[in-house]
Every structure is written in structure tokens, then in C-alpha cells.
Chain A
């Protein structure tokens, strides 16, 4: 069965510090991967998506970047965090076909607090 892991679950970082959130998927190959940010009253905002290794697309301009060094690994990064980067970050994957096509499976999320 497929599983998705995110870590760390909780992170408190000072303004200006770097960030690295990691997401890995097991039990599937060549998935589409997504990073969302969940904020109260704003729903889920799509940040990045990836259709393959090294292929990253950004949905909104921001202080964050993403990388996909391996097929089932998706990393969200920042060189210098801003206060506005605080939030709950969700990683998700999607099957490319079959009965589960277009259904997103989410990780447990990473809560980032920037002080």
C-alpha cells in the first residue's frame, strides 16, 4: 500500500533562518507531487507541483522553493524565512492513472512557526 511521510511535524524557526521540509512517498512510482499551504480562511493554496525528477512548477511567487531529487522525494525549502511563511504545509501525491487517478493523498502536514 502507498504511504506518504512528512517531517518534521512541527518546526519553530527565527526570521532569516533556512528551511527544509521533506516529503517522501512509498509504494508507488512516478507520482505527481504537490506542496500546499493551509491557512485559516484561505483554504489550501497550491505552492508547487512536480511531474517528475527535477521538474518543478511554481504556482505563486514567494519566498519558498521546491526540489525533487528522487522520484518519491519532494523538498520544500527557503534560504531566509519571513514571518509570513508561518503556516501548515501539506504534501500530497497523485496517481497518474487507474481508479485513483486525480485523487490526492495527503501527508500529516508540517506546522511551521516563524518568530
Chain B
């Protein structure tokens, strides 16, 4: 079974402060992990994926298989980072090679000016 846990519903930080959005997962195989973001009045969209190992808008996330975590980090929060963030896991489900994508409950990031 696949499970994604985001323990924080709301995270409030001051502008310029570091940000860490927590994500833990449960999956028996080799997962692919993602962070999606939804800004106000915009579509849910991909922020980054662990296999790309890239920094997007200053955000990074490292897959830690030992701790089964994929926390999202940014050293200095900006007001435009305020949004809803979802951690997601893609893994094979069933015998047909179907890729099931499971999302966490989301964390609302509020950056205080």
C-alpha cells in the first residue's frame, strides 16, 4: 500500500526565514516522489520531482530512503511562496504496470511579511 503523510496542516513563517515542509511516505518498492503546489486561484502544478535533483524557485527536496522522507526546504521564504503544497508518491499498483499517484493531505504555507 502507498501512503503519504504531511503532518502539518498550516505552517506560518516570516519572510526571510527558512522553510521546511515535512513529508513521510510508506511504500514497499522504489517510489518516485514529487512536490506539487497550488497558488491562490491557480491550478495544481508540479513544483519538483526527486529524480530531477533540481532547485525550483529556491526549493529543494532530498529523498531519504532510510527515514522514508522527502521534506521540502527553502533557506529564505518569500511572500510569493504562500500556497498549498502537496507531497505525492508514484508507484506501481497491480500487475498492469499502472502508476498510482498518492497525495498527502497538504500543508498550507503562509509567509508573513
Contact = CB atoms under 8 A, between A and B. Distances in A.
Interface of A: 32, 34, 36, 38, 41-44, 46, 49, 51, 57, 90, 94, 102-109
Interface string B66-106: 00000000000000000000101010000010111111111
Given A90-B44, A103-B34, A108-B43, A44 B86 contact: yes
B99 A106 contact: no
Given A43-B106, A46-B101, A102 B90 contact: yes
A43 B86 contact: yes
Interface in B32-55: 32, 34, 36, 43-46, 49
Q: How large is the interface on B (under 10, 10 to 19, 20 to 34, 35 or more residues)?
A: 20 to 34
Nearest to B87: A43
What does DSSP make chain A's interface, helix, strand, loop or mixed? strand
B9 A32 contact: no
Contact of B46 (A46, A57, A104): A104
A1 to B, nearest CB: 14
A106 B104 CA distance: 16
A46 B43 contact: no
A102 B96 CA distance: 15
Contact of B98 (A32, A41, A43, A107): A32
Contacts of B100: 46, 49
A69 B103 CA distance: 27
A92 to B, nearest CB: 8
Q: Which of A49, A90, A104, A106 has the most CB of B within 10 A?
A: A104
B56 to A, nearest CB: 13
Contact of A103 (B9, B49, B102, B104): B49
